[in-house]
Amino acid sequence: MTTPNATHDPQLRSWVASANQAGCDFPIQNLPFGRYRPAGSGEPFRIGVAIGDQVLDLKATGLVHTDDMNVLMSKSPAERQALRAAISAGLAEGSGQAAAWAKAVVAQSAVEMTVPCRIGDYTDFYTGIHHARTVGSLFRPDAPLLPNYQWVPIGYHGRASSIGVSGQRFRRPQGQTKAADAAAPSFGPSKRLDYELELGFFVAQGNALGEPIAVAEAEAHLFGVTLLNDWSARDIQAWEYQPLGPFLSKNFATTLSPWIVTAEALAPFRAPFERPAGDPQPLPYLDAPGNRERGALDIVLETWLQTASMREAGEAPVRLTHGNAREAAYWTPAQLIAHHTVNGCNLQPGDLLGSGTLSGPKPAEAGSLLELTLSGKQPLTLPNGERRSFLEDGDTLILRGYCEREGAVRIGLGEVSGTVEPARG
């Protein structure tokens, strides 16, 4: 696991002036990776590094010789750390590379972003224990938390083909639903469309089929973290999820931030992994000293909503929730990687693991409308007087995440926005 080094120095400044502004998501201490091209150009996407309000063409610096992000992700931890150090040195104030690299930066406002890498497989986990308890109480009042939850990281295989990048617009999904008092299900657009506030973990080096990754070694296989919105059709989900879990209620759209904040950048914001008193401790294959000492992530997470009416009136989005991943997640990224591979499953560079909805213990820290409105029984009243139980057509849901801690420079994960369009007629 990376520990803070010279690239995290709070005194470090960049010759890109916008990177030095207080509250900036992308100071020189961050340096997240993404894929971009000039807006409207139709050119192949290239690897970029966010710095302030600019993006640096990584290949143009001469530090890499590929535009394939998955190739970069497959590098060893030592190679990735060396690349970070070289990028940091070149972007630092007073760098001898400043004049040459200034020709390799372009405003983020002038580029088009895509998903950060080629995602071969997507597994969504269920690590948010407060979310699990609340949702379980709605679906299974007599057994909110199933007996296996505190022992095994629960996950299901998601759909990689429908993953999009921030700014994604998608149609309201259709499917079967069944009212409690109905004799048979009906078909039509979802009436209980929801969001899920999650983190996404990208795999770096993979593992050979049949060769598990030990939890003590799993951090070396974590490339970085992104924000993730796993849109959910709750009424379709309620009818289909037993006995095999979510299907059409989840696979219609998933939206990511365009930026991957690397594991190296997050070094100052790691925290101890601790189970509440009285809870069972992880089995040995999910336990290691390093994971106990620094396995958790201290990331602030927020959700914001802008309705169509608010947008037309020029009103800014309103914040719905504010929480922290450290208090929400019952399992760490290292434990997810170790569990995913313990049976010999082979992960590959660019594979995506979702955290599951990260809700805190307080109502204002909920990561979904299902929790915020208690399944629609207590609708939210927005500042303009509109009410929401679930998402309506034209709604834009925004996720934001950032890390801040005394003695470290604040870094951000960017933003994830997605807009609901009407179901196909």
Q: Which amino acid is at 187?
A: F
Residue among 254, 227, 395 nearest 318 (CA): 395
Task: Give the whole-angstrom CA distance, residue 423 versus residue 235.
Answer: 15
Q: Which amino acid is at 272?
A: P
Q: Which amino acid is at 13?
A: R
Instruction: Cite the DSSP H helix spans in 18-128.
Output: 69-73, 77-91, 98-101
Owner of token pair 């190739």: 71
In order of 70, 361, 401, the CA distances from 324 in angstroms are 29, 10, 9
**Is 339 one of the catalytic residues?**
no
Task: Give the whole-angstrom CA distance, residue 154 versus residue 197.
Answer: 17
Task: Give the whole-angstrom CA distance, residue 396 versus residue 401.
Answer: 17
Among candidate residues 8, 130, 131, 339, the one labeled active-site is 131
Task: Give the whole-angstrom CA distance, residue 204 versus residue 306.
Answer: 35
Half-sphere exposure for 386 (CA within 13 Å, toward CB): 17
- Look up residue 93 and give its two tokens: 């104030």
Cα separation of the two ends of the chain: 51
Task: Give the whole-angstrom CA distance, residue 348 versus residue 344.
Answer: 13
Owner of token pair 């490339």: 223
Owner of token pair 């679906």: 139
Q: Answer yes or no: are the C-beta atoms of 202 and 226 closer than 8 Å.
A: yes
Instruction: Cite the DSSP H helix spans in 302-418.
Output: 308-312, 325-328, 333-341, 369-372
Rg, C-alpha atoms of the chain: 21
Which residues does the annotation mark as catalytic? 131
